[in-house]
Chains A and B, each alone.
Chain A
């Protein structure tokens, strides 16, 4: 019963390095999301996707890129890591049936990736 799987769990990057945070879900959810959580704060949306091939910016997209080539996978790319990107990153997914106003569309989260940029 995997749900949402994120890899790696921890990573230390040097300034200017790049990396990809992996996210995979096995629940056949159409919507997927990337959030970041800074210390003592709530989560902020970086990017989201409503289906394969469709992505859109959230509240804090600068410095990140995403792609969604399959329903299952939604990787997050950091091109030039900066200390301001030190955070915990969460991937989430949900099934959203558009037009059904009573639907819960609960987002299920992965365990998170703790990233430090030094």
Chain B
């Protein structure tokens, strides 16, 4: 069965420091996609970054990068130079071959001034 696991219910980081949010996945499909979404306290789901299973390089989007280790089935999100506005829930998700997303339980990130 396909599964996404986020083992950190909550994380704290000092403003301007980097933080890594963990995500591991389980699938037997050769073709899949991995996503990170941010959910601030206002509730909307904001797409951050995408990594395809066939991508050779780690994805980057501004201050966000994805540390993709295919053999270990991990897709950790790295946020550099944390800002107070980064405080939110972060969800890792995997898209299966049928196009459906499977979400992890999320990690709540708190950025301290």
Contact = CB atoms under 8 A, between A and B. Distances in A.
A104 B100 contact: no
Interface residues of A, number: 27
Contacts, number: 60
Query: Which secondary structure dominates chain B's binding surface?
Result: strand
B100 A58 contact: yes
B12 interface: no
Contacts of A104: 33, 50, 52
A43 B101 contact: yes
A90 B91 CA distance: 14
A88 B43 contact: yes
A44 interface: yes
B106 A90 contact: no
Contact of B99 (A96, A111, A112): A96
B109 to A, nearest CB: 15
Interface in B19-60: 31, 33, 35, 37, 43-45, 47, 50, 52, 54
A98 to B, nearest CB: 8
Interface in B52-73: 52, 54
A106 interface: yes
B42 to A, nearest CB: 8
A64 interface: no
Contacts of B35: 106-107
Given A40-B105, A42-B105, A112-B43, 10 more contacts: A33-B101, A43-B91, A43-B101, A43-B103, A58-B100, A102-B54, A104-B33, A104-B52, A107-B35, A107-B47
